[in-house]
A and B are shown apart, each in its own frame.
Chain A
Amino acid sequence: DAKTTQPTSMDCAEGRAANLPCNHSTISGNEYVYWYRQIHSQGPQYIIHGLKNNETNEMASLIITEDRKSSTLILPHATLRDTAVYYCIDAQTGANNLFFGTGTRLTVIP
């Protein structure tokens, strides 16, 4: 069963920031928040992960609330190629059994 909850779908205008929320209220102290995305007809792709501090890489930023019960993935300038299903996963670092759930279908609109 999914341990995270995400909205089923979201739209974002091209060039604008896409903010994808995730609730993980049962996350334990040694569990990280991982984000993957799956573009249509491709395998999932790792985006970013974090424990409690905000993280940023070349793809996105991850903002984790202080109580760690929720987080937001930010794509600063969404492009049409960012249209995908985004999965938020809580797992121990290096965990091998990642539960992907149903994710959020992000549609970037021209």
Chain B
Amino acid sequence: DAGVIQSPRHEVTEMGQEVTLRCKPISGHDYLFWYRQTMMRGLELLIYFNNNVPIDDSGMPEDRFSAKMPNASFSTLKIQPSEPRDSAVYFCASSLIEGRGREQFFGPGTRLTVL
């Protein structure tokens, strides 16, 4: 299994531009998570899905952020418009409801820099 796949791995954009981050979870997993990691705030959960349905988006910082999961093998996190304070590493993770302790498998992350 290739694990969780994220793209792009690095993204540099200018303030005000739209940014779309992509994630392919591990096949068969029924939960998908989006996290953000910064030096100041550490690793924060933004939103998670169960069977493609958003369950908890209380961590999404503001309306500029949106996430979708149109099918079981693909999810996007969009920031529009982007701001310098959105610069962070964004991780996607997936888990299986029957997995050991429902451990979460993380992707390699997307490093976003907003100038």
Q: What's the nearest-Cβ distance from chain A to residue B73, in Å? A: 19
**Chain B residue contacts of A96, Cβ below 8 A:** 31, 33, 45, 48, 55-56, 95, 102
Q: With an 8 A cutoff between CB atoms, is A49 at the interface?
A: yes
Distance in angstroms between the alpha carbons of A32 and B102 in the assembled complex: 12
Q: Which residues of A contact B (CB under 8 A)?
A: 32, 34, 38, 41-46, 49, 93-98, 100-102
In whole angstroms, how far apart are the Cα atoms of A56 and B40 in the complex?
Answer: 33
The answer to whether A98 and B104 touch across the interface, beta carbons within 8 angstroms, is yes
Chain B residue numbers with a CB within 8 Å of A97 are 45, 48, 56
Interface of A is mostly: loop
**Residues in A neighbouring B45, C-beta threshold 8 A:** 96-98
From B55, B93, B102, give the contact of A93 (CB < 8 A).
B102
Q: Contacts A43-B107, A49-B101, A94-B97 given; indicate if A100 touches B56 (C-beta within 8 A).
A: no
| Nearest Cβ on chain A to B77's Cβ, whole angstroms | 15
Residue of A nearest to B98 (CB): A94
Contact between chains at A32 and B56 (CB < 8 Å): no
By size class, the interface of chain B is 20 to 34
The 24 sampled A-B contact pairs (Cβ below 8 Å) are A32-B101, A38-B43, A41-B109, A42-B108, A43-B91, A43-B93, A43-B107, A43-B108, A43-B109, A44-B43, A44-B91, A44-B106, A46-B103, A49-B103, A93-B102, A94-B101, A94-B102, A96-B33, A96-B45, A96-B95, A97-B48, A97-B56, A98-B104, A101-B42
B74 contacts across to A, CB distance below 8 A:
none
Bound-state Cα–Cα, A34 to B48, Å: 19
Is B105 on the interface with A (CB-CB < 8 A)? Answer: yes
| B-side contacts of A100, CB under 8 Å | 42-43
Considering residues A41, A98, A102, which has the most beta carbons from chain B within 10 angstroms of its beta carbon?
A98
